[in-house]
Amino acid sequence: MDRMPPADPSMFGEPPMFVPSAGVSLFGIIFTEEGAVVDNGSLHGRSSVEVGVEFVDERESLGSPRRVSLVWLAREGPPHDLQGYLGLVAVEMLIDQGAGRGWKDLAEHTNRMTDALRGTVDVGLLTPVEREQVRSLLEALDSDSFQAAPHILDALGA
């Protein structure tokens, strides 16, 4: 069987956007009564606040939902030699815990994960209290990486 010749890159138009190599790790941060915590179940829609929740298409169909913020954190570097914080992006969802129902824009969550992996920092959806909680968590996890990330320091008001 003959192999196809390599594709001519010019036939695809603009070059693709840079996506970091496998040396980038993605983490999910949610907010609980104790503050911001790493909850990697969120990477698969199974964070502690999402377990047991049926997600609906229409946010208006929820009774008394509460807003839940989620932050995607990207770190670059090999797993045992992490170089630093790369991207930090916030998204939100609505959860009516009593009814066991919630709403989130899954496409937006996915796009924002990609944004974090590409180094975007956007925490505009977070309240000042949530920003402070994320700042405290990142500093506690790795103070050196936090101090070496001026783009994240600025966004969190540190």
Within 8 A by CB and 6+ apart from 118, the residues are: 17, 18, 19, 20, 87
pLDDT of 14 higher than 90: no
Would the pLDDT of 1 be above 80?
Answer: no
Kind and range of the H or E run holding 153: helix 150-156
Q: Is the pLDDT of residue 87 over 50?
A: yes
Paired tokens of 156: 């969190």
Looking up tokens 């309240």, which residue turns up? Answer: 127
Q: Evaluate if residue 18 carries a pLDDT over 50.
A: no
Single-letter amino acid code for the residue at 6: P
| 100 pLDDT above the threshold of 90 | yes
Look up the pTM and report it: 0.81
What pLDDT digit, counting tens, does each position of 40-55 carry? 899 888 899 999 999 9
* Mean pLDDT computed over every residue of the chain: 83
Cβ–Cβ < 8 Å for 29, 91? no
Q: How many helices (H) and strands (E) does the chain have?
A: 4, 7
Of 41-50, 58-67, 81-90, 121-130, which one has max mean pLDDT?
121-130
Distance CA 118, CA 114 (A): 6
Dihedral (CA of 135, 23, 120, 125) sign: negative
| Count of beta carbons in the 10 Å neighbourhood of residue 92 | 15
Chain segment 20-35, per-residue pLDDT in tens: 455 788 899 999 888 9
